A and B are shown apart, each in its own frame.
Chain A
Amino acid sequence: MSEHRRHRHNKKASGKSFVVLPIIFFIGIFTVLYVALTPAFGPLASAVGSLFSDTEKDYSTSYKNIFVPVIEETTFAVSEEKKQETHQETTQKTVDIEDVVFPNYGNQFGDIRIPDCGVECPLFLGDGDIALRNGVGVYYGSGIPGYGKTVLVAGHNNTFFNGLKNAAPGQEIYIRTSYGNFVYTVKETAVKDSLDVTAYDLAADQESLILYTCYPFDEIGLTSQRFFVYADYTSGVVIDKDTE
Chain B
Amino acid sequence: MSKKPTSSRIREVVFGILSFFLSLLFTMFSFSLVIGSTVLNKNAWIDSMNRCGYFNDKTTEVRNKLRDLTYASGLKEDFFDGVVDEIMVTEDTYNYIEGYFEGTTTVVDGTAFRQKISVALDDYIKETGQKASAEQVSELVKQAKHVYTATVSFVGIGAISVYFLAAKKALPFVLAGIIILALGLIAVLFFCNKWKHRAMKFYYYATAGAFLANFALALFMTVNKGAKNINLEYRSVYNFVVSFVNSVNVMFWICTALFLLLSVALFFVYRRLFYKASKKSST
Instruction: Enumerate chain A interface residues (CB-CB to B < 8 A).
Output: 1, 5-6, 9, 12-14, 17-18, 21-26, 28-30, 32-33, 44, 51-57, 59, 61, 129, 132-133, 156-159, 214, 218-224
Contact = CB atoms under 8 A, between A and B. Distances in A.
B205 interface: yes
B143 A26 contact: no
Contacts of B69: 222
B6 interface: no
B136 interface: yes
B40 interface: no
Contacts of A30: 213, 216
5 contacts: A1-B278, A5-B282, A22-B23, A25-B205, A57-B238
A132 B271 CA distance: 73
A219 to B, nearest CB: 5
A42 to B, nearest CB: 13
Contacts of B274: 9, 12-13
B132 interface: yes
B136 A221 contact: yes
Nearest to B160: A44
Given A18-B204, A220-B132, A221-B133, A29 B139 contact: no
A30 B213 CA distance: 7
B205 A57 contact: no
A158 B73 contact: yes
Contacts of B230: 51-52, 57
Given A56-B228, A219-B133, A26 B209 contact: yes
Given A57-B238, A59-B235, A220-B125, A29 B209 contact: yes
Given A13-B275, A25-B212, A222 B139 contact: yes
Interface string B143-166: 100000000000000001000000
Contacts of B275: 9, 13
B204 A221 contact: no
B34 interface: no
Given A51-B231, A218-B130, 9 more contacts: A1-B282, A9-B274, A12-B274, A18-B205, A21-B16, A24-B20, A132-B71, A221-B136, A222-B143
Contact of A158 (B72, B132, B160, B210): B72
B139 A224 contact: yes
Interchain residue pairs A-B with the least CB separation, the first 10:
A221-B136, A25-B209, A22-B208, A26-B212, A220-B132, A156-B71, A1-B282, A59-B235, A222-B139, A25-B23
B49 to A, nearest CB: 17
Nearest to B205: A21
Contacts of A59: 235, 238
Given A18-B267, A222-B136, A156 B72 contact: yes
B71 A26 contact: no
Contacts of A6: 278
Nearest to A130: B68
Contacts of A224: 139
Given A25-B20, A218-B131, A221-B140, A129 B206 contact: no
A56 B229 CA distance: 4
Given A1-B282, A9-B275, A25-B212, A223 B205 contact: no
Contacts of B70: 158
Given A9-B278, A52-B231, A221 B24 contact: no
B175 interface: no
B232 A57 contact: yes
Contacts of A26: 209, 212-213, 216
A29 B160 CA distance: 27
B245 to A, nearest CB: 11
